[in-house]
Chain A
Amino acid sequence: MVNKVGLSGAIFVLIVSSVFVYSSLDLPYASEIGPGPGFWPMWLSGLLIPLSLAYLYSAAKGTDAAEKAPDKKAGMDMIFILGSMSLYVILLPFLGFNLSSIFFLFAFLRKGYSWHKSLGISVAVAVSLFFLFTEGFTTPLPVNTWGF
Chain B
Amino acid sequence: MLNTKNIYKPLKAKLTEVIEESPVIKTFVLIPEKEFSFGTGQFIELSVDGIGEAPFTPSSSPLVKDKLEVTVMKTGYVTEYMHDLKPGCHMGIRGPYGRGYPVESFYGKQVLILGGGCGLAPIRSLLYALEHIKDKLEKVILCYGSKTASDCIYKPLFSRLNSIDKFEAHRTVDKAEPGWDGSVGVVTTLLNKINVNLKNSIAVVCGPPVMMKFGTIRLLEMGYSDDQIYLSMEKNMSCGLGKCGHCMMGEFFVCKDGPVFTYNELKNTPDIWK
Q: Do A and B come from one complex?
A: no
B interface residue numbers (CB < 8 A to A): none
